[in-house]
Structure 1
Amino acid sequence: MKAIIEVTGKLGAGKTNVVITLGEELSPASILYIDASSDQKLTHTLAPQLPELTLGRLISQHTETATPREAVDWVFHDLAITVGDEQELITVGNLPEQLDASALTPLKYGLTRLIENYDYVILDGHHSVLHTLLPEETLQLLDIVTPDDFSDWHLTNGREFVRTPALILNRYDNEPLPATLESALSEQRIQLIGKLPRYQTSDELFRQFANAFGNCLLRLNIPLSPNPQ
């Protein structure tokens, strides 16, 4: 697997647009999308129909008794649904932010085995449990921030544990940056990789967003040349 990219930001910041565009840029490599956002917008956008099985539901069903590893493999592969050529999706759903060992053990085993099958894993949103289980050596964090979020921006959601998180300013029209963000940039605790303008219409967004985001992606430290297995 080349990289895991966790796209974070508040609801409405544009995470899902970024995730979908990133997937298009990385195609034809094999991609696993993980919808960890509370609004499940990625699932509603990509899935032909809402999946009956979510990660939260799977964990609740398979932690009451010890589950053989072969069964964990089976249910995790059954969890992923096809959403495009070489692209699959799992939805986190109602997964608690804290789990005991009986739930963490099959989750770590199943998730680790599952992601080995893909060139890239892209998360829409942050979930504290998943974040702690993902391999740090391949994890890249891409934070999406809009001017509406400037007033209370700070390093949260595990960003402080990822080496040099990347930042995209979305719907940005040269507004002054808050002191907390300026400080993080000057101290190189976060890397600004691009600024996406505020589009006036959805048609303008559709036509121009991919190209603008592609320029940002050039500065993101992930391997981009596909190497299908």
Structure 2
Amino acid sequence: MNSDLLQEIINLKNSKKEFSVITDTNNAKSYIFFLNEKIKEELKENENKIIELYKSRKDGLIKGTNLFVKNYHRPIKVVIVGAVHISQFFVEYAKSLNLDIYIIDPRGYFASEKRFPSANIINLWPDEAFKHCTLDKNTALIALTHDPKIDDPAIQEALKKNCFYIGALGSKKTHENRCNRLIENGFRKDEIKKIFGPVGIKFGGRSAPEIALSIIFQLMTEIYKQ
């Protein structure tokens, strides 16, 4: 890899752009690939396979070729509303994943750097917090407080911003009541169906670490669907 290409890769990483570096292992020549942009002529034959590997967020050699794909994706932004025990286990389990985690909770005693050393802490109510932590279609939001005064405004903002994953803790009855409140606030049923409630995959676990693990499984499944 020549120095100019290496510098371009460094600049792209610093600018937080998403791209892939495709290297021909026969001659060590490398190319930069951007999704939805014209591909280099040398890679045209394997364009679909490159896109497939890029979207899978996995690195590796394209089967039947000498092309190695190294992907550079921005960390997935995960906003957790509620500095509860489940949140602590979620953050701990997610350390090795490519996630940029924010904890929003106005209760400073619970949402502290001591309890969440590897997360971004915002000690504000959701309405104020989202002025500092914006949501978009590449954001996951998980509401865990069980308190409608905190969870509902966050879920409403996530629906408005079309977050790709929205999860909310609570029983089926709690979620039914939540959905009714959202309808009263003008949200459509097809929008509300996007919410995973109760959040997490169902495997019978009830403890905080088990629920955290079930949420991570569900979240990662949705990430790879994008």
Which band: TM-score by shorter chain? 0.3 to 0.5
Give the alignment's TM-score, normalised by structure 2: 0.43
Give the structure with higher Rg (CA).
2
Give the alignment's TM-score, normalised by structure 1: 0.43
